[in-house]
Structure 1
């Protein structure tokens, strides 16, 4: 049920329920810290960012993409922080709402599966006006594209024209992908201009 069919108190209650979620503390593999779900949602939003999961800096701030990855993502999109953090325009719904912790090698762990299983489908019903969705990384691409996912992020992003403008498939804007970006110059020359046009159109 969308907000158009429901009510603002219902929407507010739903968001409060998600923010209070502690499902991953009950699992065999609990979070290494207290849950702090981070997302940005408003029923008037027309652009959706579907990422992976918050990093440690975002876990500390409680606000999506308050890190160098966010700076790069906003540059890719061609929008200011003011627009990016305007929930009535931009929704940010990662596959996992809480920072999942680090692997032994120091990389972020994958998004917790509990989040998408428990909350994702219902949360998206509160976003009836989305025109374009940015799918960042393999987890978001697999979930949203289903059989359209090519098995690898690189193969999927290379096929970006097949999904645009409804979806834009992107690698994660982390510094860890600097080498990937250098090897795939078409991402900057071909994909980013179309992404920026689609973002402006969705927000218009």
Structure 2
């Protein structure tokens, strides 16, 4: 059977070394994509646990994200339902206040080409400021909180989310409306798309 365009792109991504010299642990691109996927998780970059496992969101952030989405591991890791495409494919290293930003080379080299090869995406979960700058540059608000607070402006094609990292526990406590108001709509839409 002939490889699809997406298979060819992913094969090239897995061999990518564009920014390897800048990566503390070397290149290990982590992504999950399939032409049939209806949901795209547009994240930031793998953390160290994900770098070690080679599987997206195998960390506390992933546990919270699956909880927000209302799905189990099997559904989450079914690439024909859910694509996971971080802004940077490799672990960027750690700075003073957590992981460094995603390396910009990935998005420039690969993002448009991969997205064009996934025509069935109906919902993009836009996690964090770097993904919001890429996917929502024309419509985002003055900061992450305001962008998330105005989620209905982008719904149902896009849903801006804070990062599900435990580092954002304070943000979640300060903004209880997020889990009360946004999460039920997210879970309902995810259920519709993964079952449909």
Both proteins in one fold, TM over 0.5: yes
Instruction: Check conservation: 2:124, 2:158, Cα contact below 8 A.
Output: yes
User: Within the alignment, does 1:73 sit opposite 2:65 as a pair?
Assistant: yes
Tell me if structure 1 keeps the 8 A contact 2:31–2:85.
Answer: yes
Q: RMSD value over aligned CA atoms? A: 1.1
Residue 143 of structure 2 is matched in structure 1 by 152
Please give the alpha-carbon distance, in whole angstroms, between the structure 2 residues aligned to 1:156 and 1:11: 31
- Equivalent in 3, 13, 23 of residue 8 of structure 1: 3
Residue of 155, 162, 178 corresponding to 1:187: 178
User: So what's the TM-score if we normalise by structure 1?
Assistant: 0.92
1:113 to 93, 104, 109: 104
Q: Is the 8 A contact 2:6 2:114 kept in 1?
A: no
Secondary structure of the 1:8 match is coil
C-alpha separation in 1, matches of 2:5 and 2:154:
33
Per-residue deviation, 1:35: 0.2
Q: Unaligned 5+ residue runs, structure 1?
A: 1-6
Q: In the comparison of the two structures, how many residue pairs are matched?
A: 194
Distance in 2 (alpha carbons) for counterparts of 1:43 and 1:9: 9
For 1:36 and 1:182, locate their aligned partners in 2 and report how far apart those are by CA, in whole Å: 34
Q: Judge conservation of contact 2:5–2:117 (CA < 8 Å) in 1.
A: no
**Of 12, 15, 20, the match for 1:17:** 12
Q: Does 1:94 align with 2:59?
A: no
CA distance in 1, matches of 2:35, 2:186: 23
Question: After the TM superposition, which of the residue ranges 119-128 and 146-155 deviates more from structure 2?
Answer: 146-155
**What does residue 125 of structure 1 align with?**
116
Q: Which runs of 4+ in 1 moved over 6 A?
A: none
Q: TM-score, normalised by structure 2?
A: 0.96
Q: CA deviation at 1:25?
A: 2.7
Q: What is the CA distance between 1:92 and its match in structure 2?
A: 0.2
SS at match of 1:49: strand
Per-residue CA distance 1:63-89 (angstroms, 9 max, x = gap): 000001000000000001000000011
- Report the 3-state secondary structure (helix = DSSP H, G, I; strand = E; otherwise coil) of the residue aligned with 2:56: coil
C-alpha displacement of 1:9: 4.4
Contact 2:124–2:157 (Cα < 8 Å) also in 1: yes
Larger mean Cα displacement after TM superposition, 148-157 or 131-140: 148-157
